Amino acid sequence: MRKGGFSNNLNLKLNLPKEDQSIATFLTQSGTFKDGDLLVNRDGVRIVSQSEVEAPPPIKPTDDQLSLADIDIIKVIGKGNGGTVQLVQHKWTAQFFALKVIQMKIEESHRKQIAQELKINQSAQCPYVVVCYQSFYDNGSIYIILEYMDGGSLADFLKKVKKIEEPYLAALCKQVLKGLSYLHHERHIIHRDLKPSNLLINHRGEVKITDFGVSAIMENTYEEANTFVGTYNYMSPERIVGEGYDNKSDIWSLGLILLECATGKFPYSPPGQDGGWVNFYELMEAIVEGEPPSAPADQFTPEFCSFISACVQTDPKNRLSARELLEHPFIKMYEDKDIDLSSYFNDAGSPLATF
Ligand code: ATP
Ligand code: MG
């Protein structure tokens, strides 16, 4: 595959003086080699600052680390409306990544702008947000190299377990709120497409948000063609009617996701029918005009019901922010219970999506 387009500098650059090229300085207990600013461990090679060495933050290599020429494709792990996601392996560090390929013809004049939007993904540094290592456009496709999350998405997981009980949901939700809090309050980014398939999990019990920024690109691009490819199911009423929207739009989506996880079905499904909404406009009307859904008080704790209601309010001003929700009693009540999401994810059904 030919490299091209946005990123002209994709190959690994070590930038070491010649005499330092032998990586033999010291070996820590965790099997990490460190030489000056170069760190080599089971996660790969990266350039670090001195302060990172003892307690590394989430892996965030430099922009120059990965190239398509350096990776082997293992298998397809998922397909969305926009493209395909493949499990890939770095040839010489053996580290796994997820490669997302979105086929999209982009006018030459648009490319610069899209390159910049993709860079938003790359600059995010938060343990609750999927790391984007590299992105570029080549010959009609956008390529995005992402952190590989071996548990797949929350949508995949929910298919296996059907429902998620409150204690696990609280632990999972806390991580999503931390990710949202980072995106909203530190980076001023609205996700715009929060849904179960954009929350990814791994064997360590981590939950991370993915595909922020991508939805903006997809939307802007398809807007021109007058089509939107994707789901409106989790979209807030103000977005559906085309009003201005802000962070609170993501909070609406979060509320619906949690309710779906808790009850095992999408909150707007018409009762007694499995097939979902016959008419797409009926669903849109129900979201915009109808009473917002709520958690049944006879099946869930008052804290959970109150949490859902704090998210799923028709007027965005009445929804709490991610930061406020982190302090909500639903999150707090399970905090000292040591909820083990790692075992929960690993024990549920079939093995995680490894190779
Ligand atoms: P849409 O295209 O409507 O946004 P989607 O989110 O399901 O839907 P993709 O983002 O292309 O589409 O992802 C498809 C699937 O690939 C996900 O549901 C998930 O199972 C898997 N996947 C995506 N990213 C990763 C990743 N970084 N690590 C592991 N699996 C992933
Ligand atoms: Mg996605």
* pLDDT tens sequence across 121-176: 777 789 999 998 888 888 888 899 999 999 999 999 999 999 999 999 999 999 99
Rounded to 5°, angle at Cα 182 from 103 and 250: 60
Cα–Cα distance measured from residue 81 to residue 232, given in angstroms and rounded to the nearest whole number: 13
The residue type found at 44 is G
Q: 345 exposed, middle or buried (CB, 10 Å; 0-12, 13-18, 19+)?
A: buried
Ligand nearest to the CA of 152: 1
The residue type found at 216 is A
Domains 68-146 and 152-216+232-348 fall in the same CATH topology: no
> Does the C-beta of 230 come closer than 6 Å to ligand 1?
yes
Pairing of strands 38-41, 44-47: antiparallel
Range 61-88 average pLDDT? 82
Domain limits of the chain?
68-146, 152-216+232-348
Instruction: With cut-offs at 50, 70 and 90, classify the pLDDT of residue 85.
Output: very high
Task: Please list, in sequence order, all residues whose beta carbon lies within 8 angstroms of the beta carbon of residue 191, skipping any fewer than 6 positions away.
Answer: 180, 183, 198, 209, 211, 212, 215, 250, 253
284's tokens: 């849109």
> Does the C-beta of 156 come closer than 6 Å to ligand 1?
yes
Instruction: With cut-offs at 50, 70 and 90, classify the pLDDT of residue 67.
Output: confident
86's tokens: 């493949």
**Cβ atoms of residues 251 and 311 within 8 Å:** yes
> Does the C-beta of 78 come closer than 6 Å to ligand 1?
yes
pLDDT at 305 over 70: yes
Which runs of consecutive H residues, i.e. helices, occur in the chain? 108-123, 154-161, 166-181, 214-225, 237-240, 248-263, 280-289, 302-311, 322-325, 329-332, 341-347
**pLDDT digits over 162-193, tens only?**
999 999 999 999 999 999 999 999 988 899 89
Task: Return the pLDDT at 215.
Answer: 67
Please give the number of the atom of ligand 1 that sits closest to the Cα of 79.
14
Please give the number of the atom of ligand 1 that sits closest to the Cα of 155.
18
pLDDT at 102 over 60: yes
Q: Comparing 40 with 283, which gets the higher pLDDT?
A: 283
Cα–Cα distance measured from residue 232 to residue 144, given in angstroms and rounded to the nearest whole number: 24
pLDDT at 23 over 60: no
Cα–Cα distance measured from residue 110 to residue 286, given in angstroms and rounded to the nearest whole number: 36
- Which residues are the active-site residues? 193
Instruction: With cut-offs at 50, 70 and 90, classify the pLDDT of residue 53.
Output: very low
Q: Which CATH architecture has domain 68-146?
A: 2-Layer Sandwich (3.30)
Is 100 annotated as belonging to a binding site?
A: yes
Range 344-351 average pLDDT? 77
What's the gap in Å between 53 CA and the centre of ligand 1? 32
Ligand nearest to the CA of 130: 1
**Cβ atoms of residues 87 and 98 within 8 Å:** yes
- pTM of the prediction? 0.81
CATH number of 152-216+232-348: 1.10.510.10
Q: Which of the residue ranges 23-27, 166-170, 245-249, 268-272 would you say has the lowest mean pLDDT?
A: 23-27
46: β partners: 39
Q: Which long-range contacts (CB under 8 A, 24 or more apart) does 312-316 make?
A: 312/252, 312/255, 312/256, 312/259, 312/267, 313/252, 314/237, 316/236, 316/238, 316/245, 316/246, 316/248, 316/249, 316/251, 316/252
Average per-residue pLDDT in the chain? 78
Rounded to 5°, angle at Cα 329 from 328 and 335: 100
